[in-house]
Structure 1
Amino acid sequence: GILTAGPPRAFTFYVREDLWMSSVERNQGPYERELLIVSADVDRFIARHEINVLVMDIEGAEKELLQHASLPGIERIFLELHDHLYGLEGIRHITLALSAKGFAYDPRGSRGPCVLFAKNDGPREYEDAEDVA
């Protein structure tokens, strides 16, 4: 299924040979077949299942989802950014949307395009870079 922000919508989902590259983006490479899928509301799903952490690699759909979802009860979001699909402007939109919801970029859980945003504002101890690596 597909989770989106807001009321259900119909999507064409493009299934690719490399399953992890499948997405709602038609122009993201060759695909083997199309599926019609109706979405469900992500905020209702989060509330119903009492989810507090999101992990997502959703091939570019994170931009729209994170801009429009309320994300009730979510404390941490780990995601892969897809700048090749929406550029630095899209990353700016994601960062601003999450900041407005109380999230901050957490460098301790981030590396390259895989980033962590967290709400925890508790004290943090110094970590020597050699100890982390």
Structure 2
Amino acid sequence: MKHFLNTTVKAVFDGYPPEIRRKMLVLREAIFAVAASEGVGQLEETLKWSEPAYMTAEIGCGSTIRMAWKKEKPNQYAMYFICTTNLVETFRTLFPHQFKYEGNRAIVFQETEDVEMDSLSICIAMALTYHRNKRRKQP
């Protein structure tokens, strides 16, 4: 199912190089697909720090996912997670060789590589259900 781009987000995607834009739009669709399969409800698509960002409309359910391409590193793009969570640390433990990581905030992709979508979908699901799952683990 295609999800129509928010017009301000579309303008950002339109400013990316064509191959990067294509790959990032695939990641965008994966975020929406995972959200549907995880039952987190509607996603809000917006800009945070002038970059496409996705968050659950249900308050207290998930953690924001942001994506970006930066001119300083033209051959890579990344998916960002809130650095005060343990998400990237958990991804690194679960998928030590599938992805390259940037500190405790991002999974970084190279333009020339294929993304391991099954593993990435698990990461996306963990982000979109982060707060909901954290509450369930509390005694």
Same-fold call, TM cutoff 0.5: no
Q: Whose RCO is larger (CA < 8 A, sep 6+)?
A: 2
Structure 1 or 2: larger strand share?
1
Structure 1 or 2: larger helix share?
2
Please identify the structure whose Cα radius of gyration is greater. Answer: 1
